[in-house]
Structure 1
Amino acid sequence: MVMKKTTEFLVLAALAGVLSGCHKRNEPPAAPPLPTVPVRLQKVEAKTYPAIEEVVGTVRAKMKSSISAKVSGRIEKLLVAPGQKVKAGDLLLQLDVGEIQAQLQRAQAVQKQAAIELERMKSLFAQATVARAEVDRAEMQFQVAVGNVKEVETMLGYARVTAPFDGVVTRKIADVGDLASPGLALLEMEDPNLLRLEAEVPEALIDRVKLGDQFTVRIASLPQLLEAVVGEMDPVADPVSRTFNVKMDLPQATGLRSGLFGRVAIPVSQTTTLRVPASALVVRGQMEIVFVANKGAAQLRLVKTGKRIGEEIEVVSGLNAGEEVVVDNAPRLRDGQPLTRQ
């Protein structure tokens, strides 16, 4: 009986050892410590900034032209295409104006006949055969013939349509073989070096805009902000939209071109807010996150942001003045990760 109990005890002990060994082998290994990340920090401060209202606008060329012919005729040659740069005086298209060439030949023939008649009358007058009035009449007919030739030559010159200024062709409306007539647009061109932002300013803000004022403009496709100067503004509001068209001259900038979307910031008052660099904000799904340096480690902080002004973003909640936020390498960080200041 004692031997049986002893055997059962040994079996149970062996099973316990086996189970204990299996349990130890199934335990996951401890996670390695997070690496230390070098970062730049910036202290959050409450500052007074101008409160602004943004008005949307479109970049347009200050100098643009709709090219049309001054005489009628079919387009014989079209020498440019949209996107092509041209210089003032460059030939854009050539018209087939056979009728005008025929008119020129007739006018030249009349001029030649008038010149012969004038010389004949002068010779007869010298012989006292005709009166002075006949010579004057022949002189007048000759001058009229000369004028007719010059007029037709001018019309013939209009068959060559040239660029009115340095610029780029933006649109081709007609093609070879189409009939051109006075006032009918054939091409469009503009000067890409002289651009401005055209914005419709609401009546509530127009009193804050004056000729010569300078405003900050943000173009969606450009990384930098631009400073625009008000060059023109309508004195009367649009009766439907109740807005005023304001045109602001833009400086030259790489990548700036006609048709881009932009926003102009119009100051309306002063406000005190917290702002952080845009590089400090990390967006994960619907969450807006910044990392605060706390005792040498990154502390994840959910925030609520407001407007973006330049390279800074307004923080409405989630941060306190005096805290230091990570302004680079933020997307790489995890909560609690060790930090070292660069």
Structure 2
Amino acid sequence: MPTEHNSPVSRRKLSIFGLVAGIVAVMVVVTGIKAREDSSAKLREWTVNQAIPTVAVVLPDAKVLDATIDLPGRLEAYYRAPIFARVSGYLKSWSADIGAKVKAGQVIAEIEAPDLDQQLLQARADLTSQEASARLSEATLNRRKTLIASNFVSMQEIDERSADLSNKKAAVNSSQANVERLEALAGYKKITVPFDGVVTARDTDVGALINAGGGAGPAMFVISDIKKLRVYVNVPQNYVPAIKIGAKAVITMPEYPTRTFAATVEASSQSVDVASGTTRMQLALDNAGGELMPGGYANVRMSLQRDTVPLHIPASALIFNQSGLRVATVGSDDKVLFKAVTIARDLGRDIELASGISADDRVIVAPPDGIADGDQVRVAGAKPGKTEKVSEKLDVKG
């Protein structure tokens, strides 16, 4: 029968179809498993890549042409003399007020000293008495000497009279010295100016009680020579070697905002103040026109002479923790390497380093939290060898 004849063929076809379907099913399963494995591998790779931080780096900037430092300074008169009285008394008169220009030797005040006047009169009287006694002793000695030949007087008496005359002459010399001392003191009743200058202070008036010496109160007058000024600056210890004697400086004053004045470094204290860690330096400033005033504030810009060119990095690159002050650098294998550094100057956005890194170190601009030595990082943006330079900044405000 036809049905029975086609039955083996149909079963064979069904077997082939089942086999093909099984193979397809296996391939689908295998493909799905492989796809999941590829997806898992890609996910693991992406996760690993995301775990590597991306950092921006810069090369330390060593391009410094004319480094300067700005510091606050104080102007002082080149010569300044507080005038104290040498004699006690009352101020009789004065003739020079603050701001007056005076000449050397000019009398600017006079003191009335009645006690000194009486002492001088007494000393002169004592001198007169001593001179009279000395003359009498000398005359008596001369008369006694004429009687030696007649043996009316002995040599013992002659020796005694000679000694008495010597004592009287010594007393005369002592009285004479006392008179000259008091006369010299009387000369100080007139207050004179020691040098040409300006009266910058007057702290007395007519009738005021004057005490001799400089420990009982302020000076009567202060005379200052302001044709030349001294500028005093306290320089931080690490900058002292870079500021040489004879170096030029530029002075700016608040009262002359559009002008500058030239000064020269004259001297250094050659010592460091323990309290401030600074060295005091003195600059000379010409003030022939009298425009600048002693005691005034000044901004002093000084040139720094360096033996080596300093390196600058961004301030954000510094890391300070229990290990000290460090920066994070990226090596050729893109791994982190920490280096200890020392700061020469804080320029605000930039930091000038004294030591710790070299010019070819790749410094991480903003190190992420938790970064450690040997961590793998990815350098952002630039091609190898091309990194952004830190902008140069030469001045620091005092």
Query: TM-score normalized by structure 2?
Result: 0.53
2:7 alignment counterpart: none
- Read off the aligned partner of 2:301 and give its amino acid letter: A
Pick from 152, 158, 161 the counterpart of residue 191 of structure 2.
161
Post-superposition shift, 1:219? 2.9
Cα separation, 1, equivalents of 2:174 and 2:130: 9
1:40-189 equivalence runs, <5 A: 49-128=65-144, 131-181=161-211, 182-183=213-214, 184=217, 185-189=219-223
Question: C-alpha displacement at 1:207, in angstroms?
Answer: 1.8
What is the aligned counterpart of 2:301 among 243, 249, 265?
265
* Aligned counterpart, 1:197: 231
Aligned residue for 1:335?
A: none
SS at match of 1:240: coil
Structure-2 residue corresponding to 1:216: 250
- Equivalent position of 1:227 in the other structure: 262
User: What is the CA–CA distance in structure 1 between the aligned matches of 2:163 and 2:298, rounded to whole Å?
Assistant: 73
Opposite residue 295 of structure 2, the aligned amino acid is G
Taking the aligned partners of 2:272 and 2:288, their CA distance within structure 1 comes to 31
> Greater Rg, structure 1 or structure 2?
2
The Cα of 1:216 is off from its aligned counterpart by: 2.4
**In 2: Cα distance, 1:136 partner to 1:60 partner:** 56
Q: CA deviation at 1:49?
A: 4.5
Aligned equivalents of 1:105, 1:253: Cα separation in 2: 48
Aligned in 2, Cα 1:98/1:253: closer, same or farther, shift over 3 Å? closer
Q: What secondary structure, in the 3-state scheme, does the structure 2 residue paired with 1:171 have?
A: strand
Mapped contact 1:88–1:163 kept (Cα < 8 A) = yes
User: Higher strand share goes to which structure?
Assistant: 1
**1:239 and 2:274 aligned:** yes
Q: Decide which of 270, 282, 286 is 1:251's aligned counterpart.
A: 286
Q: Distance in 2 between matches of 1:211 and 1:63?
A: 21
Distance 1:253 1:259 in 2: 17
Contact 2:250 2:300 in 1 (8 A): yes
Q: Which moved more, 1:99-108 or 1:198-207?
A: 198-207
The SS at the match of 1:206 is helix
Deviations 1:175-198 (A, max 9, x none): 222222211421112001121211
Number of aligned pairs? 227
TM-superposed deviation, 1:158:
1.7
Distance, in Å, in 2 between the alignment partners of 1:168 and 1:53 is 33
TM-score of the aligned structures, taking structure 1 as reference length: 0.61
Instruction: Decide whether aligned partners of structure 1 residues 156 and 68 sit closer, same or farther in structure 2, where only a CA change above 3 A counts.
Output: same
**% of aligned pairs identical?**
25
The one-character-per-residue Cα deviations of 1:55-78 (angstroms, maximum 9, x if unpaired) are 111221111111101122121112
Contact preservation (8 Å) 2:243, 2:303:
no
Query: What is the Cα deviation at residue 239 of structure 1?
Result: 2.1
Higher helix residue share? 2
Conservation of the 8 A alpha-carbon contact between 1:214 and 1:229: yes
CA distance in 2, matches of 1:64, 1:202: 27
Alignment RMSD: 2.4
Structure 2, unpaired ranges of 5+: 1-62, 146-157, 311-348, 350-390, 392-398
Give the drift of 1:251: 2.0
1:225 Cα deviation (Å)?
2.7
Q: CA deviation at 1:79?
A: 1.8
Offset at 1:174?
1.9
2:226 match: secondary structure: coil
Q: Given that residues 208 and 266 in structure 1 are in contact (C-alpha distance below 8 angstroms), is that contact kept between their aligned partners in structure 2?
A: no
**Offset, 1:149:** 0.8
Counterpart residue number, 1:12: none
